[in-house]
Amino acid sequence: MKDNNPSRAVAWWLFICCAMVFATMVVGGITRLTHSGLSIVEWKPLIGALPPLSESHWLELFAKYQQTPEFQKVNHDMTLDGFKFIFWWEWAHRLSGRLIGVVFLLPYLFFLARGYLKGALAAKVFGFFILGGLQGAMGWYMVKSGLVDDPRVSQYRLAAHLGLAFILFGLMFWTALGMLQPRAVSPAPSHKGIPLRITLTHRLGNGLVALVFLMVLTGALVAGIRAGLAYNTFPLMNGHFLPPESFMVEPWWLNFFTNMALVQFDHRLIAWALMGLIPWLAWRIWNEQPAARVPAMVLVLWLAVQVTLGIATLLLQVPVALGAAHQAGAMVLFGILLWAIHTHRRA
């Protein structure tokens, strides 16, 4: 049967890819929280997709892991069964990334052949594939940082790895929304092409997208240096708004990346800012564009869920389930924010 709405087909394909990026990020979060990320010490993009198929293969992989600093300094008493547990999480994370590549590339070639994707749009969408490949390479670059003397991945590379996932998700999600929500035919009264009464709302929306992304990066730094295991009180940090040890590292600017107190404080501070700014944005959207009221309301409700998850994760000292849910909730919040902004602009 001939597809009479190619834009809708492409949009739903991109949404499926977004869902796979989300699922991969969730598995990646669990992999990190279970300390499984350093269990596979090689990067084999093709043959690495196959799991161990024999006991001798398991023993070979375990022997390679036993040569790593993580085994020698942290997991020296680990058994083969314990290794299998952490191996499967890291393998599942890598396999999920590979599947995204397949689910993206094959339909892309089909849509290209059918003429659903043309010109600048085809080039832009192929750019998502390139970005996905860079994301995989960044993942291995991150893992390599933990296969040295200090068996812990670099918090900078972790932030880059997570940040790329959010960029890829956001670009695909926004493009898919654009295919389902075409621009309005009659623009509002404007000055130099900018609608007069919604200029502030547009700027606020853009700023909040950047702020949520910054929150994600600070969350990655919190995870990378395990700052969530300290200052497990709320709303104050062990009785302080800003702990006195927040600037004890020299030079001073390193505190923003390596000091548990300041890194966690920055993450909290952005959360407080979002708790004020997101309801303001939703209120403006609600008043300016009735067609965007549903995503505006969902945005505020999910913000409450995400903040609750964050507080619970902190107070309970980062249990795996809550930590993974909090990370997943950040991408959900990011997606709802894009949905609300896009609907407001296109309605």
Cis peptide before 235 (omega within 30 of 0): yes
Measured over the CA atoms of residue 62, residue 68, residue 70 and residue 73, the dihedral's sign is positive
- N-terminal to C-terminal alpha carbon distance within the chain: 31
Share of the chain above pLDDT 90, in %: 87
State the virtual CA torsion across 336, 341, 346, 347 in degrees, nearest 10: 80
Distances (CA, A) of 128 to 14, 59, 105, 165, 326: 10, 38, 10, 11, 26
Residue 285 is which amino acid? I
Q: What is the mean pLDDT of residues 219-248?
A: 96
Residue 175 buriedness (CB in 10 A; 0-12 / 13-18 / 19+):
middle
More confident residue, 186 or 317: 317
pLDDT at 194 over 70: no
Q: What is the mean pLDDT of residues 256-276?
A: 98
Q: Which residue has the tokens 């043309």?
A: 118
DSSP category for residue 51: P
| pLDDT value of position 150 | 84
pLDDT at 59 over 90: yes
Structure tokens, 82:
């314990």
| pLDDT value of position 1 | 37
Confidence of residue 198 (pLDDT cuts 50, 70, 90): low
Radius of gyration of the chain (CA): 22
The domain limits of the chain are 1-180, 185-347
Residues in CB range of 28: below 8 A, 6 or more apart: 93, 165
- Spatial separation of the C-alpha atoms in residues 344 and 281, rounded to whole Å: 11
Each residue's pLDDT tens digit, 143-166? 999 998 888 999 999 999 999 999
